[in-house]
Amino acid sequence: MRKLSYPKKTVLITIFSGLTLLFFSFRDDLFQISKNLDIFSSIYKELNMSYVDEVNPAHIIKTGIDAMLDNLDPYTEFVPEADVEDYKMKYVSTQYGGIGAGVFYRNGKVYISDVFEGFPAQKAAIKAGDEIISIDGVILKGKNSEQVSLLLKGPRETALKINIGRDGKTIEKNIFRAEISQPNVSYYGIMDNNVGYIKLDKFLENAGQEVKTALIELKKSNPTGIVLDLRYNGGGILQEAVKIVNLFVAKDVEVVLQKGRNKEKTINYKTYLQPIDAQIPLVILVNGRSASASEIVAGSLQDLDRAVIIGQQSFGKGLVQQTFNLPYNSLVKITVAKYYTPSGRCIQALDYAHRAEDGMVNKFSDSLKTEFKTKNGRSVYDGSGIYPDIFVERYQYHQITQALLSKYLLFDFANDFVNKNPQIAPAKDFNLTDANYANLITFLGNKDYSYQTETEALLQNLLKQAEKEKTYPKIKTELETLKAKVASIKKEDLTQFKPEIKRVLESEIVQRYYYEKGKSQQAFQYDKELKEAVKLFNNLVNYSSILKGESNFKVIGKPGKMLVQED
């Protein structure tokens, strides 16, 4: 075969032409940037000099920046100097100076929602349900969450005086702030069936080390398997996710590829240490609020056929952010890349690059989803989160339970219960008795927990449509009879949905006595996803067959509408 050749002069002309186009393109970009910055600064100057009313220059700029970033994605954001410390606490560090308590707002007042074990609020005998009336003489009524947070937080060992309201009395508490360190791992332990369990809430500083410590401690009991619970974990630091995968996977294995438009942002993250245990059976629990770093861990371990994923389809955040310092101690967090799991898939669910005309963001359509293969040849898909290997339908609370929660009535009853019961059974054994539930019904007797069922909503829509079509007079009797029947059935909801109301109330009560750890232990008895994990560890043949793609579990339907059945 004859080789094609070109004169050197032709090659030089081609290269020169390419460089010339690149130069002019670069120069045009610089001109556009300079032009638009000049226009922006001129408008800013004229507004300050000429607008009819006095303007706040900082507010105008912040509004302009926010509007510019809103056109991109919700993770790209500007952080002014005043918000930098809160930003670092939310996205980087698990430590801050405070009293160790959560708060919520009700009828314009601030209340304690829960207290953290071992911190100043608990040591000062502050309880869930206490109203915070004032902090250092500043009345809180009417204050927003940011203002209350600023009053509660501060340097460690600094004093603050809190007036709280309880049972119609005002109590003064003198407290010294402490360094509040909220762990990434909120609970770990061995369950009754000798399964090790680790609950990871976030991926902030030290998350990898905390999971490692928990794993080493659990292995002392020779567990039949490990459950890593990533449900409701919204993510955090990517490198911490890599460290956690490395605990279960051999050295020098690709965990995630970060790929950006800027080549400097394209990084291949691999495991770099020997694992703690590359063989122990492993299950990862996920749900619709498992996102970002959670999806890196779940997706990587799924692609490497190292773990079985149980739960619901995850959130679908396949974007990577990086923080850049700006003048005057401000920051900007920018989405710099997408990440890809070892099979090559990106699990980003929303297509921010192609918005609709009205600005709405759509999910990637099923037709655009691509099939990828795991290490053992199992099929996985991109474009919409992590699909579990074993799907467990999400439990949806009935409207009556949601109403009791949203109106804080279960919260109030739990506080009343604690006042009357100085101690209860150990967390994992605690259950409300029928007598306790009868007390709840009595407690709710004069309370407003009105709610609309789905049936009532459908009836209401039917009535409106009948009136619109002028058929209501003909079917009025039937509709009124049906409406009365639904109302009669609704009165039985407290009895019909007793099991789920009890479940939620038990969690509220246990948290008052045993804090977050006790709450986790008590919830095990109701946890369907956890029960599926235990069932799998009791049948390691099935566990292995799932990872090999030879299991009896079948995925029915298109990705995103998964059902699982066992032959």
Contact 404, 502 (CB under 8 A): no
Is the confidence at residue 17, as pLDDT, over 60?
Answer: no
Reported as type and span, the H/E element at residue 323 is: strand 319-326
Contact 481, 416 (CB under 8 A): no
Q: How confident is the model at residue 362 (pLDDT cuts 50, 70, 90)?
A: confident
Q: How confident is the model at residue 4 (pLDDT cuts 50, 70, 90)?
A: very low
Structure token digits, residue 404? 């009791």
Q: Model confidence over 96-148: pLDDT tens digits?
A: 788 999 999 998 899 999 999 999 999 999 999 999 999 999 999 888 887 88
Q: Of residues 134, 292, 294, 384, which has the active-site annotation?
A: 292
What share of the chain in percent tops pLDDT 70? 90
Structure token digits, residue 259? 């790929």
Is the confidence at residue 22, as pLDDT, over 50?
Answer: no
Is the confidence at residue 171, as pLDDT, over 50?
Answer: yes
**Residue range 190-195: mean pLDDT, rounded:** 92
Three-class SS of residue 174?
strand
Question: Which stretch, 91-105, 369-383, 446-460, 464-478, has highest mean pLDDT?
Answer: 369-383
Q: Which residues pair with 337 in a beta bridge?
A: 320
**Residue range 379-389: mean pLDDT, rounded:** 92
pLDDT at position 149: 83
CB atoms within 10 A of CB 440: 22
**Residue range 12-32: mean pLDDT, rounded:** 55
Q: Among 11-15, 70-74, 216-220, 329-333, which is the least confidently predicted range?
A: 11-15
**Can you tell me the distance from the alpha carbon of 289 to that of 313, in angstroms, rounded to the nearest whole number?**
9
Q: Is the dihedral of CA 118, 124, 126, 132 positive or negative?
A: negative
- Write down the mean pLDDT value for the chain: 87
Contact 450, 403 (CB under 8 A): yes
Q: Of residues 303, 382, 389, 493, which has the active-site annotation?
A: 303
Is the confidence at residue 24, as pLDDT, over 70?
Answer: no
CB atoms within 10 A of CB 412: 16
C-alpha pair distances (Å), 554 with each of 383, 541, 557: 21, 16, 10
Is the confidence at residue 6, as pLDDT, over 70?
Answer: no
Q: Phi and psi dihedrals of 220, rounded to 5?
A: -65, -20
pLDDT at position 92: 67
Three-class SS of residue 318?
coil
pLDDT at position 376: 94
> 261: which DSSP letter?
S
**Residue range 90-94: mean pLDDT, rounded:** 66
Q: Model confidence over 43-52: pLDDT tens digits?
A: 888 888 888 8
**Can you tell me the distance from the alpha carbon of 15 to that of 21, in angstroms, rounded to the nearest whole number?**
10
CB atoms within 10 A of CB 297: 32
Q: Model confidence over 282-303: pLDDT tens digits?
A: 999 999 999 999 999 999 999 9
Q: Of residues 212, 243, 317, 502, which has the active-site annotation?
A: 317
Q: Where do we find the tokens 């099939």?
A: 371
CB atoms within 10 A of CB 164: 22
pLDDT at position 557: 36
Q: Model confidence over 435-450: pLDDT tens digits?
A: 999 999 999 999 999 8
Residue 50 annotated to the active site: no
> 22: which DSSP letter?
H
Print burial letters for 222-237: b (CB count within 10 Å at least 16), e (below 16): ebbbbbbbbbbbbbbb
Is the confidence at residue 558, as pLDDT, over 80?
Answer: no
Report the Cα 373 to chain-centroid distance in Å. Answer: 27
pTM: 0.85
Could you tell me what percentage of the chain is helix, strand and coil, using 3-state DSSP and rounding each to the nearest 5? 45, 20, 35
Three-class SS of residue 566?
strand
Do the bridges between strand 254-259 and strand 267-270 make them parallel or antiparallel, or are there none, so unpaired?
A: antiparallel
Q: Model confidence over 334-352: pLDDT tens digits?
A: 999 999 999 999 999 887 8
Residue 317 annotated to the active site: yes
**Can you tell me the distance from the alpha carbon of 244 to that of 268, in angstroms, rounded to the nearest whole number?**
16
> 369: which DSSP letter?
-
Better-scored residue on pLDDT, 359 or 515: 515
Q: How confident is the model at residue 559 (pLDDT cuts 50, 70, 90)?
A: very low
DSSP characters for 191-245? Answer: -TTS-EEEEE--B-TTHHHHHHHHHHHHHTT--S-EEEE-TT---B-HHHHHHHH
**Can you tell me the distance from the alpha carbon of 390 to that of 564, in angstroms, rounded to the nearest whole number?**
7
pLDDT at position 13: 45
Q: Among 83-87, 181-185, 220-224, which is the least confidently predicted range?
A: 83-87
Is the confidence at residue 263, as pLDDT, over 80?
Answer: yes
pLDDT at position 20: 52
Helices (H) and strands (E) in the chain, counts: 17, 23
- What domains can you pick out in the chain, each with its CATH number? 29-70 (no CATH), 95-181 (2.30.42.10), 205-227+235-388 (3.90.226.10)
**Can you tell me the distance from the alpha carbon of 233 to that of 224, in angstroms, rounded to the nearest whole number?**
25
Q: Model confidence over 396-410: pLDDT tens digits?
A: 999 999 999 999 999
**Can you tell me the distance from the alpha carbon of 471 to that of 294, in angstroms, rounded to the nearest whole number?**
53
pLDDT at position 86: 76
Gyration radius of the chain over CA positions: 29
Task: Give the total residue count for the chain.
Answer: 567
pLDDT at position 27: 58
pLDDT at position 8: 46
Is the confidence at residue 490, as pLDDT, over 90?
Answer: no
Structure token digits, residue 391? 């799907």
Is the confidence at residue 552, as pLDDT, over 90?
Answer: no
**Can you tell me the distance from the alpha carbon of 113 to that of 425, in angstroms, rounded to the nearest whole number?**
22
Better-scored residue on pLDDT, 95 or 510: 510
